[in-house]
Structure 1
Amino acid sequence: MAGFLGIDIGGTASRWVLVDATGTPLARGSAAGATGHLFNPAERERLATTLAAIAAALPQEPIHATCLGITGLGQSVHEEARQLVASSFKLQAGAIRLIDDMELAFRAAFAPGEGHLISAGTGSIGLHLDANGTMLRVGGRGLLIDDGGSGTWIALTALDQLYRRIDATGGPADAAILARELFAEMGGDHWDQTRAFVYGSDRGRIGTLAQAVARAATAGDPLATEVLERAADELARLAKALIGRAGRLPVAFVGGITTLHPLIKSGLTAALPETSVSFPQIDAASHAAQWARTTHQQEAPL
């Protein structure tokens, strides 16, 4: 039985779906995250390890073609990534489609030219793909520059504002609930523990602190509430940038931050009153599998 494999590789997790020649799902699963930053030897090893784990978990059906959306995949490393995929799944290069994970997510939500997509998870980025396949990106420059509204941004903004209060007053002041939640996640309330957590972690682990901010907001902490309201404004800014440059079209927000706290969705809809806003639950890996199947069937000789 022919199998067609779709893989959505993100920085913190990867998901895969295997379908047969009719498009019926055969299996699905998950693996560790990775990136397409193959210029970094450690990231190349992460991607190779993730691909090997997926290959080991697959049923025994032969794979005819695969489509992968990989976060951070630049054009300059496509050939190297293709070689890794070919080796992992015993495929010829022509049976492999590689795209950025954001393009994959966009195509799972919209046909080209029909909308704008904002992804808010560990990082944040906006994308429009026009009818000719030309991509317009906004944001997505990483935590050292921006990633406004993302999980990492929420965590670092909350810590920044909390420590400014501690500097000024010697304690958390009006952010006592937030302080309790954050320090519990980091293992203690001493600066050494915060420093070890933040500077000894990658952006994915730092981003998990956004959950603590959400809990504090639910408990009524004013600083946590303010940070989440600002996060919604930051994500709305990406949508407004796309609207300004590519026209007023429906906007879909995806990613874990959209469900982090009700303040996010309410803030986004309030910030975009003249825009059709949705929060779809897309299955990018499934879309990739179907794309691999249809492309293979279209290109197969009669």
Structure 2
Amino acid sequence: MGGFFLGCDIGGTGARFAVVDAAGNPVRRGTASGASALLAAPGDRARLEASFKRIGASLPHPHNAAMIGLSGYGPEAFDDIAALVMQAMGIAAGGLTLMDDIELAYRVLFAPGEGHLVSAGTGAIGSHFRPDGSRLRVGGRGLMIDDAGSGGSIALAAVRALYRRLDEDGDYGDMAGLAAQVFEMIGSDDWAEVKRLVYGGDRGRIGALSLAVATAADAGDPCAQGLLEEAGRELARLGNILIFRAGDLPVAFVGGVLRLSPVVGETIAAHLDGRALFPEVDIAEGAAQLARRAFQRQSE
């Protein structure tokens, strides 16, 4: 059996893809722009198409199968998204598996019922997948309700703290370092520009501001450091809820927020009593391997 197998992990801020051959050897890796499968906000479809086209332009041929995890995916969107995949990558619906990016990460890390997962990127959510196929979800209800511990929530907490300090004192005081980093990333400290970013509906751009918070924290800004510690506590809370509700099992923490600063992981570990795992795993390559194994089982 020849051919290649594609795995993609597509979140709101960025996408990663990997290709393996029939023997499971990695042959290609790459990145693309982030996107959402919700296709609800203006520009969602264009961003998803752009991400798919970037990936498709880098793929070897022929493809036997692909497994793609997408932020915000639901089964009702399969036909629509499969058509985009076919157009951009040449992968037919029969060889395509689509799922929510959180389910993909869980499948790569655990068999159903073996553990818990907390994913912290643009958003933050905790999940446990049971052997019967059902799922326990905690958190992850979006920035307007509860994505505590996510990159988006860190960014908005920073903006909120800055404007409260400005309202109270007329300047940013000891938060000047945080202000400089945040407004540099936005491109302006003008309220109209900040408002346009925050209320423009682009979760990925909001979440990316957490990088500015991390930079300020590394430079010693106490407010930025406190925001990252609070994010760690919120993520640990999700893990402890999963343990309480679905069993005393290990909790794997993944996502870009974990890479912002060691403070996040250290805070999580301090609140998880030895149950926290921080796996160094390439979810995209894991997806490609799952696609390969599923194809081989079907071909036997």
Q: TM-score normalised to the size of structure 2?
A: 0.92
Distance in 1 (CA, whole Å) between partners of 2:186 and 2:51 is 27
Unaligned runs of 5+ in 2: none
1:54 equivalent to 2:55? Answer yes
Sequence identity (%): 49
- Structure 1: runs of 5+ lacking an equivalent: none
Could you tell me how far 1:97 is from its partner in structure 2?
1.1
Q: Shift in Å at residue 42 of structure 1?
A: 3.0
How far apart in 2 are the matches of 1:194 and 1:44? 25
Q: Is the contact made by 1:105 and 1:282 (CA closer than 8 Å) also made in structure 2?
A: no
Structure 2 CA distance for partners of 1:185 and 1:76, relative to 1, 3 Å: same
**2:163 maps to which residue?**
163
Is the deviation greater in 66-75 or in 211-220? 211-220
Distance 1:83 1:237, change over 3 A: same
Cross-structure match for 1:270? 270
Partner of 1:22 in structure 2? 23
User: What amino acid does structure 2 have at the position aligned with 1:234?
Assistant: E
The question of 1:127 aligning with 2:119 is answered no
CA shift digits 1:277-299 (9 cap, x unpaired): 11112211111111111111111
Q: 1:124 Cα shift?
A: 0.8
- In structure 2, relative to structure 1, the CA distance for the partners of 1:187 and 1:111 (3 Å cut) is same
Contact 1:20 1:26 in 2 (8 A): yes
The residue number in structure 2 matching 1:221 is 221
- Relative to structure 2, which stretch is displaced further, 116-125 or 35-44? 35-44
Q: 1:233 to 1:89 in 2, by over 3 A?
A: same
1:77 maps onto 2:80 in alignment: no
CA distance in 2 between partners of 1:93 and 1:119 (Å): 28
Deviation, structure 1 residue 70: 1.1
Call closer, same or farther: CA 1:86–1:211 in 2, change over 3 Å: closer
**Separation in 2, partners of 1:193, 1:9:** 28
In structure 2, give the amino acid aligned to 1:282. Answer: V
**Structure 2 residue identity aligned to 1:288:** A
Change in Cα spacing, 1:182 to 1:57, as seen in structure 2 (3 Å) is: same
Q: Secondary structure at the match of 2:236?
A: helix
- State the 1:193 CA deviation: 4.0
4+ residue segments displaced more than 6 Å: none
Cα distance in 2 for residues equivalent to 1:86 and 1:193: 38
2:298 is aligned to 299
Count the aligned residue pairs.
299
Does the Cα contact within 8 Å between 1:86 and 1:96 map onto a contact in 2?
Answer: no
CA separation of 1:180 and 1:13: change in aligned 2, threshold 3 A: closer
Return closer, same or farther for 1:16/1:187 CA change in 2, 3 Å cut-off: closer
Asked if 2 retains the 8 angstrom alpha-carbon contact of 1:152 and 1:208, the reply is yes
CA deviations over 1:168-212 (Å, ceiling 9, x no partner): 121223423322322333334443343344345722222222222
Kept after mapping to 2: 8 A contact 1:38/1:44: yes
Closer/same/farther in 2, CA of residues 299 and 52 from structure 1, 3 Å limit:
same
Secondary structure, aligned partner of 1:282: coil
Q: Partners of 2:50 and 2:265 in 1: how far apart?
A: 36
Matched residue, 2:239 = 239
